Amino acid sequence: MKGGRCEKLFCLHTELQMSRTYAAIVALIALCLVTGNNFAAINPDEIAGLWLFDDGAGDVLTDSSGNGNDGALINGPTWIDGKFGKALQFDSSKQQRVEIPNSDSLNPTDAITIMAWGYLEDTGGNRRFLQKSEGGGDNQYRLLLEWGNFRFDAGPGVSPQTIDVPIFSVQEWHHVAGVYDGAEIALYIDGEKAGSQPASGQMIPSSGPIFIGTKQPAAPEGDYWNGAIDEVAIITRGVTQEEIQEVMKGFANLTAVNLAGKVAHTWGLIKSK
């Protein structure tokens, strides 16, 4: 074969290999969060959804977990510079939100962790960070402002199902994590445990979608998020404080370990694609 043709075939083969490698890296998200000499493991199968908000344009919010839980941008939330990479700015007066269709992966029963970065313009109303809602009701897990507090609700089936803590300061970025591990329900603000109490029970699945930025489409303005959101993750296990603090460094700064060859890859490879 002529040199030019061989060169093209070699390039095509290389591109296919890179594509497969990228897919493998995505599937191995956060296999191991390196913390000093210790390893805080998050199995990729435990990641129900991971929205990095780095699309940067368009009307789709891509799920990087491999579960296909992409979201649709409704009423034009704005792409802005975020805590890491890009983020979405939500205007509550315009009922801006992201809608993510229901899937089996978004219905954990034994445990859950919801993590995200948020920038809140004000503390008016019962503004929703994230909520899974069937028929517009408060009938599954959610993170929100509630009557002057910040609340994590693990949903019906868990008792007690909520934990409330004081609202964080506005007009600056904060990391929040709601954790239910089957024995305790807790809220972490900026990596510190802000409140917790013993809890137990099985979470009840629902067929409703997830909304980022509201409770449901017909909700009043006060139920809509007013500010920015970045790097949202739903994990089907109660993660530890150490793991939360590592995630706070940004997914691009974590190390994913390929179990087959024990070869380290950086999240920067994923974020740069």
Contact 158, 181 (CB under 8 A): no
Site of tokens 């706070």: 248
Instruction: Identify the structural domains of the chain with CATH numbers, from first to last.
Output: 25-271 (2.60.120.200)
* pLDDT, greater one: 176 or 253: 176
Upper half-sphere CA count for residue 234 (Cβ side, 13 Å): 27
pLDDT reported for residue 133: 87
pLDDT reported for residue 44: 84
Integer-rounded Cα radius of gyration of the chain: 19
- Model-level pTM greater than 0.85? no
Q: Is 192 exposed, middle or buried (0-12, 13-18, 19+ CB in 10 A)?
A: exposed
**Least confident among 141-155, 218-232, 248-262:** 248-262
Residues 6+ apart with CB under 8 A from 69: 48, 49, 63, 100, 101, 103, 105, 106, 210
Instruction: Give pLDDT tens digits for 113-168.
Output: 999 999 999 998 999 999 998 876 777 899 999 888 999 999 999 999 999 999 99
Instruction: Give pLDDT tens digits for 46-73.
Output: 999 999 999 999 999 999 999 999 999 9
Percent of the chain with pLDDT over 90: 70
Q: Is the pLDDT of residue 188 over 90?
A: yes
Mean pLDDT for 246-269 is: 52
